[in-house]
Structure 1
Amino acid sequence: MTSISICWFRRDLRLEDNAALYYALKSDYPVLPLFIFDKNILDKLPKDDARVTFIYQTIEELKKELQQQGSDLLVKYGEPEKIWPEVLKEYDVKEVYTNHDYEPYARERDDNMAEFLSSEKIAFKTYKDHVIFEKNEILKADKTPYTVFTPFYKQWHAKLNDFYVKAYPTKKYFKNLLQTKHLENPALKEMGFEKSKLDFPKISYKSKLDDYANERDFPAIDGTTHIGLHLRFGTLSIRKAVRDAIEAKSNVWLSELAWREFYMTILWHFPYSASDSFKKQYDKIKWRNNENEFKAWCEGNTGYPIVDAGMRQLNQTGWMHNRVRMVVGSFLSKHLLIDWRWGETYFAEKLLDYEMASNVGGWQWAAGSGNDAAPYFRVFNPELQTKKFDPKFEYIKKWVPEFGTKKYAQPIVEHTFARERVLKVFKEALSTS
């Protein structure tokens, strides 16, 4: 039996510029790429989850690329802790290479895998690939993590140089892939999923970068890059995105890429913030959590047109414009006094580009409970947001065709009343801390 290395793909679904694959291909053994459809994650998802379709289609493309090199991708379905012992029976594995993942479940999974592989005398080597800077690479002078974005970004930007954004030349070493016959894929249906009808955005953002700073806040304009999905699953290298931002002199887009890393750093250092308020006193807030109002918000029937347009865009496409995400987040947590976690969970189910760190960070920002958050007394006025960012109601009319007619819902709550109510509730909770 040939001794091999395995490169375990997770959220880095590309062959080019992939850190773990590069180091695996430079190892002493031929490399077999592996992907596991993880039941621990999949069992919690709806059966028409579009992200599973996206991953599945991407896996099929990866297999084709690898087959052109005389190799293939081994695809398994199950719980990683059960799959790995099976793989070790099939192959003589000497080393396993993979890229870091920063979410709580992934950290626990990788700790367990490291322990198991070590007991089998197999090296488990992991690399930074998903971000430019991670973990403890950007710290304050006293070695504690930044909890405010601006000083974090200053250091992130100052540290950025060619070394950190250079691509890993994986193609040079494709000859070191394990030569193997075609390997079977489990079918989507076997895993209990059906093919989604949603469209997935293509990676084509360069033409947007010149006008990004001026157009990104207007939801009726297609002015954003739509690459969240591709960064989430690693079909686009973050190093390439950053190089393109620098080349286009698009500092605003560069800072957006850094926000993503800021939130990942927060999740890494403060894992409790995935489910509890970053500012702990905010866990004392007495949420109303009215289920009928939550349902109206989910369905886009609140009587606030910009909120409803955003929610319907999300429900129909799996994506929502970033400016509108802030408006609907503020509306749920402040106008309706519904726990931000309800909204975070709904987004986690619906967003194609769902990324735990950014989603939790964004929701806590909107609710006022996060690090570097909007202060609790800042309550977005949906009407003013509309005047500023959708003055001709183009976005609203696209998603809420009955807007302006008698068929359109009456406002679920009056703005001034809602604002006074949330200020009172928040003040009471925070004054007792």
Structure 2
Amino acid sequence: MTKDAAKPVILWFRKDLRLDDNHALNAAHLSGRPIIPLYISEPEAGAGPLGAAQAWWLHHSLEALDKSLRQRQGRLVLASGEALDVLCALIRESGAGAVFWNRRYDPLGISIDIRIKQELEKQAIETRSFGGQLLHEPSRLMTGNGTSYRVYTPFWRALEGASEPEPPLDPPAKLRLASELAKSEPLESWKLLPMKPDWAKNFSDLWTPGERGAMERLRAFVEDALDGYKENRDFPAKQATSMLSPHLALGEISPARIWDATRGLSKRVSAADIVQFRKEIAWREFSYHLLFHFPKLASENWNDRFDGFEWRNDDGDFNAWCRGLTGYPIVDAGMRQLWRHGWMHNRVRMIVASFLIKDLMVDWRRGEAWFRDTLVDADPANNAASWQWVAGSGADASPFFRIFNPVLQGQTFDPDGDYIRAYVPELRELGAKYIHWPFEAPRSILAEAGIALGQTYPKPIVDHASARNRALAAYNATKDTASTRSSPRRAG
């Protein structure tokens, strides 16, 4: 054994909090060196500080990862500070000769990783980065002209036509974890959990953060909900979606593991259901492709026609939307589900986003920021790309003039009102005929249901028909420059 081979390797966990299908972990294991598992609380990790809801998730995910490592006679080292400073200090203390990590693809994360790799290599420290957070590297899946994709359908065809993703790696049966580790900061000192008030008290009713929770969620979805997924996924009252997005967001499960779970199911699940679910995974891939090539996806319009759009940005309207007090039941149910569980059904996300942007004419960036703070599955690529899609300003976006009618959306996708009743208890006694538009119900019907509009439940803060006309007029007043922005990146 050479002198360098005896030196520990630092395994730097980021948004890959798992042992399964972890390429950096596998490489560290195959190196034969003692492994020092490390997680760094960076002041501006990746796309910036975690939102409050995802910080709750991170606390429990780190606990779960540490438990898994302790079962293998190791533990997770926790440290806070600038990543380069933390790594250099740990290298001095432990004598480590290498640092391995899995790549991240957000702009700030890329720039941090490139700088760290350059600085450590100057010190003769081996640095190795790996894929595995996406099915395909965003720098490699390109059009025939060598440019990045701007339209989802060709991207999907290219991804579907590419070679099948490599089978996921099983976690090593045994790990050689370093016995003498650096001092670890107490997780509680990071204050990731809300205290008073504990607004996350209901999160654990729905979620089990950690790799085991992710695997159990995947198994349950494949066994119980994948069959019929294409038809059922749009109905928020049904348990018909995978609920894997928070686990993916912090890397407790890899997209390759999820993709692999959909193989070999043709005898009991239709091809249409499998393809539709895979397309949802591909949308995440497309979102990272966009973010990689357009780093300002969360702050600038992809289509600069929208730079001249005159937003109203009324604070009262925005606050009513955040609190689920708009007077439109499907919108209010979605926003209250978000507050209660840190998550919202995807169809309803589109409805509430359309309402904020087009009915209220509030800048999509305010909605994106609110979701980033309140979603347990907040994702720098998915969140920004999806908001720009609804706003009409993004790549391959829904046209701005496609303005959802919140009443019709509710009637179509929650016909019996079960989803609304679950999250808007004021309307629980109202029948299906009026539950989507209580403002049109006769007084006698409202009284029988115990509803006093403007008192127990708000009147609509805007008239949808008038708001639609107002939004279209503002859109038509903008200058059509028919241009988009793009910027090449490379991952560290």
How far off its partner does 1:44 sit? Answer: 4.4
Query: Equivalent pairs: percent with the same residue?
Result: 36
What TM-score does the superposition give when structure 2 sets the normalisation length?
Answer: 0.83
Give the equivalent residue in structure 2 for 1:430: 479
Q: Which runs of 5+ in 2 are unaligned?
A: 195-199, 266-270, 428-437, 439-450, 483-492
Q: 1:263 aligns with which of 284, 287, 300?
A: 287
2:414 equivalent in structure 1? 390
CA RMSD of aligned residues (A): 2.0
Which position in structure 1 is the counterpart of 2:239?
A: 222
| Deviation of 1:35 (Å) | 1.0
Cα distance in 2 for partners of 1:208, 1:147 equals 31
Q: Cα deviations across residues 385-417 of structure 1 (Å, max 9, x unaligned)?
A: 111101111111111122342122111111111
After TM superposition, the structure 1 = structure 2 runs for residues 22-41 of structure 1, keeping only pairs within 5 Å, are 22-27=26-31, 29-41=33-45
**CA shift at 1:75, angstroms?**
1.8
Residue in structure 2 matching 1:234, options 248, 251, 265: 251
AA at the equivalent of 1:274: A
Amino acid at match of 1:155: A
Are the counterparts in 1 of residues 305 and 480 from structure 2 also a CA contact under 8 Å? no
Deviation at residue 243 of structure 1 after TM alignment? 1.2
Tell me the equivalent position of 1:310.
334
Q: Which residue of 2 aligns with 1:371?
A: 395
Within a 5 Å distance, the mapping from 1:200-219 to structure 2 comes to: 200-201=207-208, 202-203=213-214, 204=217, 205-206=221-222, 207-219=224-236
Contact preservation (8 Å) 2:54, 2:374 = no
Judge which range, 225-234 or 134-143, deviates more.
134-143
> Is residue 356–residue 362 contact of structure 2 (8 Å, CA) maintained in 1?
yes
Conserved? CA contact 1:245–1:251, under 8 Å = no
Q: Is the 8 A contact 2:351 2:406 kept in 1?
A: yes
Q: Any conservation in 1 of the 2:77–2:181 contact (CA below 8 Å)?
A: no
Aligned 8 A contact 2:10 2:99 in 1: yes
Question: How far, CA to CA, are the matches of 1:229 and 1:222 in structure 2?
Answer: 16
Q: In the TM superposition, what whole-angstrom CA distance separates every residue of 1:106-137 from its partner, at most 9, and x where no partner exists?
A: 11211221122122111221111111112232
> Residues 122 and 54 from structure 1, CA distance in 2 versus in 1: closer, same or farther, beyond 3 angstroms?
same
Report the CA distance between 1:181 and its aligned residue: 4.8
1:148 and 2:151 correspond: yes
Classify 1:189/1:69 alpha carbon distance in 2 versus 1 (closer, same or farther; 3 Å). Answer: closer
Cα distance in 1, alignment partners of residues 180 and 64 from structure 2: 17
> Which range is displaced more, 334-343 or 198-207?
198-207
Taking the aligned partners of 1:80 and 1:97, their CA distance within structure 2 comes to: 13
Shift of 1:45: 5.3
Name whichever of 184-193 and 97-106 sits farther off: 184-193
Tell me, in whole angstroms, the C-alpha distance in 2 between the residues paired with 1:168 and 1:15. 9
Aligned residue runs from structure 1 range 27-176, under 5 A: 27=31, 29-41=33-45, 44=49, 49-161=52-164, 164-172=165-173, 174-175=174-175
Shift of 1:295: 0.4
Deviations 1:168-189 (A, max 9, x none): 24415x34x2341577643344
Which amino acid in 2 is paired with 1:247? G
- Distance in 2 (CA, whole Å) between partners of 1:358 and 1:336 is 23
Taking the aligned partners of 1:160 and 1:389, their CA distance within structure 2 comes to 36
**Structure (1 or 2) with the greater helix fraction:** 1
2:105–2:288 CA contact under 8 A, matched in 1: yes
- 1:344 aligns to 2:368 (yes or no): yes
Change in CA separation of 1:387 and 1:108 when aligned onto 2, cut-off 3 Å:
same
**CA deviations over 1:17-57 (Å, ceiling 9, x no partner):** 111111122225322221112233499457xx342232232
- For 1:353 and 1:426, locate their aligned partners in 2 and report how far apart those are by CA, in whole Å: 31
Question: Residue 479 of structure 2: SS of its match in structure 1?
Answer: helix
Q: Which segment is superposed worse, 190-199 or 120-129?
A: 190-199
**Contact 1:274-1:360 within 8 A present in 2 as well:** yes
User: Could you tell me which amino acid in structure 2 is paired with residue 5 of structure 1?
Assistant: V
Give the CA deviation at 1:80.
1.3
1:158-197 map, 5 Å: 158-161=161-164, 164-172=165-173, 174-175=174-175, 177-181=176-180, 185-194=184-193, 196-197=200-201
